[in-house]
Amino acid sequence: MKDPENGRYVWDFSVIKEILMNPVYTGAIVSQKTEYRFKIGTIRDKKPEDWIVVEGTHELLVDKKSFAIVQEKLKSRQRPGKSGEPSIFAGLLKCGECGKSLTIRYTNAKHPQQIYSCKTYNAYEKQHCTQHRVDYDTLYALVLNKIRECAAAALTDSEAVADQLTNTCEAQQKGQREAMERTLAKDGERIDVLEKMVLRLYEDMVAGRITEENFNLLQEKTQKEQAELKAKAEEGRKRLADEIRLAVDVRQWVESIQEYRDITDLDAPTLNRLIKEIVVHETIDSDKTRHISIEIHFNLKPIPEVEQVTG
């Protein structure tokens, strides 16, 4: 760990969990680990069973049996609150400064309150991040009201809302699409070159110009690059298709949000359907006044909704 006093290179539980879930240590290459929408970005992480995994691309460090056992243990873990039930905001709240999640806990007051605070702060205190404290009740009311507002706007003029969202993306849409197409073409050309390289290497080995050992070493390196490029190309094609579906996605979001005009209660399925993530930022004045800003990023909606809270 380098320079821990300044918060650099800090290992925490989330980093270790990512390592434990990464199939690269079993000799595989993985792609499409997230759901992506053009101009919106990553919506959520995919389940491991939905990842694209290319096996046997390099030497393994962990055998598959041990890896499978670890995955089962991770699946069995929950993120329950004091009541024993997982928080409805679990997996959605992110610290706007360090990027880690906000976790729920209870205050030590006479009448304990549920609050969310930064995981990094909880583990390492203010040397590495600030608390980013948000009361559960405040967050609940804020998100509920924002969903109602969006639903009311969509019901008032759904076409205007859809057009506004679509226009946000259109200015750069053409350039983004052309850039992705160029990248796909370049990767395709490189894959063709690699296939020809393997053929030439085989011919050189047969002719005695290189040894079989060198052939195997070079072939392994070449095939690894091929696998990585093919996985990258597949992800690129998916993103390109997502861009083409943008207008449909926007209108689906407008139709979906209309159902929630009169919503009175929030639950985890509703939040995960409508919201990509909730990002909490914190600044502290010289007089120690805390200012919290909360960005609510809706699924299929590229513009974050920002609310200000002063503590």
Q: Check if the beta carbon of residue 197 is closer than 8 Å to that of residue 221.
A: no
The domain segmentation of the chain, as residue ranges, is 11-310
Q: What is the C-alpha to C-alpha distance for residues 105 and 25, in angstroms, rounded to an integer? A: 34
**Burial of 185 per CB tally in 10 Å (0-12, 13-18, 19+):** exposed
Question: C-alpha angle with apex 278: 272 to 279, nearest 5 degrees?
Answer: 155
**Burial of 61 per CB tally in 10 Å (0-12, 13-18, 19+):** exposed
Give me the mean pLDDT over the 123-146 stretch: 87
**Low-confidence winner among 114-123, 210-219, 289-298, 300-309 (lowest mean pLDDT):** 300-309
**Strand order across the 275-284 sheet:** 93-95, 275-284, 290-298, 305-310
**What is the residue type of 6?**
N
What average pLDDT does the chain have?
76
Q: Check if the beta carbon of residue 57 is closer than 8 Å to that of residue 227.
A: yes
Contacts of 9 (CB under 8 A, 6+ apart): 1, 2, 3
The pLDDT score that the predictor gives to residue 36 is 60
Tokens read off for 104: 């729920």
Expressed in angstroms, the distance from the first to the final Cα of the chain is 34
Task: List, in sequence order, the alpha helices (H) in the chain.
Answer: 13-20, 64-75, 119-124, 136-156, 158-206, 212-244, 246-257, 268-274
The Cα-based distances of 181 to 74, 191, 218 in angstroms read 38, 15, 29
The pLDDT score that the predictor gives to residue 142 is 92
Q: Check if the beta carbon of residue 56 is closer than 8 Å to that of residue 219.
A: no
The 10s digit of each residue's pLDDT in 245-277 is: 555 567 777 887 888 888 999 988 888 878 888
The pLDDT score that the predictor gives to residue 140 is 93
Q: What is the C-alpha to C-alpha distance for residues 237 and 239, in angstroms, rounded to an integer? A: 5
